[in-house]
Amino acid sequence: MARAFSEIAFTPGVRAFQTRMGSRENYARLDHVDYRGDTLGPTEAEFIAARDGFYQASVGENGWPYVQFRGGPAGFLRVLDQRTIGYADFRGNVQYISAGNIEADGRVALILMDYAQRRRLKIWGRARLVDAADDAPLIARLEDGNYRARSERAVVISVEAFDWNCPQHITPRFTETEIGQRTQVLHAEIARLQQALARDAKPTR
């Protein structure tokens, strides 16, 4: 954990609750550490590049949070530099709740999950919408030519803080690709045994 995370997440209400529950002392040191945790490093960049989806929370003008799952090809959320990430905003059900919230209040929070390895990265940032007509090169940089989806705009997020969450209570889940990788040896062994059985079953003269 780092100071930027503490400044955003530990509001007065949170600090009061921590005090009441006896955990405030564990986190008080974050107010004074030099490491801010607002600059993405190689570990974060590699993790982000491997994800094919994330959860994004935005804030409505009425104060209600809105959480949406954003999915796409692995790596569609791009690290543009150490303080900036972005993604192509694919056309969906045209409710535009996240887009409207971002336009009114750019504060967002992202949770990126690796269920198989029980890893979780949380990112806080300020998002802005960029239309294709305003920055075509940026849209091209964020689009994946092999993914057949229409992108209506780009969402560019200035990173304010990030935090690696503990693996506690994360139930391992696996994608089809991950299952295929883990069972590849088994399938190869099954194919070898089937070939051996087929040879043994051939009639002898």
For the entire predicted model, the pTM comes to 0.87
* Residue 17, Ramachandran bin (φ over 0: left; ψ between -120 and 50: alpha; else beta): alpha
Q: How far out from the chain centre does Cα 123 lie?
A: 8
Integer CA distances (angstroms), 189 to 44, 176, 177, 192, in order: 36, 20, 19, 5
* CA-based nearest residue to 123, from 164, 64, 80, 72: 164
* CA-based nearest residue to 115, from 190, 45, 177, 197: 177
| DSSP strands (E only) in 82-180 | 84-90, 107-114, 119-131, 151-165
How confident is the model over 52-67, as a mean pLDDT?
A: 97
Strands of the sheet containing 84-90, edge to edge, are 65-71, 53-59, 107-114, 119-131, 151-165, 84-90, 78-81
R_g of the chain, CA atoms, integer Å = 23
The confidence score (pLDDT) of residue 205 equals 60
CB 85 within 8 A of CB 40: yes
Q: Identify the bridge partners of residue 54 per DSSP, sorted by sequence position.
A: 70
Backbone torsions φ then ψ of 42, nearest 5 degrees:
-60, -35
User: What would the pLDDT profile of 68-96 be if each residue is shown by its tens digit?
Assistant: 999 999 999 999 999 999 999 988 888 99
Integer CA distances (angstroms), 105 to 59, 97, 167, in order: 7, 12, 31
Of the candidate ranges 15-29, 107-121, 130-144, the one whose mean pLDDT is the lowest: 130-144
Classified by CATH at the fold level, domain 38-173 comes out as Pnp Oxidase; Chain A (2.30.110)
The 10 Å Cβ neighbour count of residue 60 is 14
> How sure is the predictor about 120, in pLDDT bands with cuts at 50, 70 and 90?
very high
- Measured CA to CA, the distance from residue 113 to residue 126 in angstroms comes to 20
- With pLDDT > 90 as the criterion, what percentage of the chain qualifies? 70
Residue with the two structure tokens 């300020």? 126
- Measured CA to CA, the distance from residue 147 to residue 29 in angstroms comes to 45
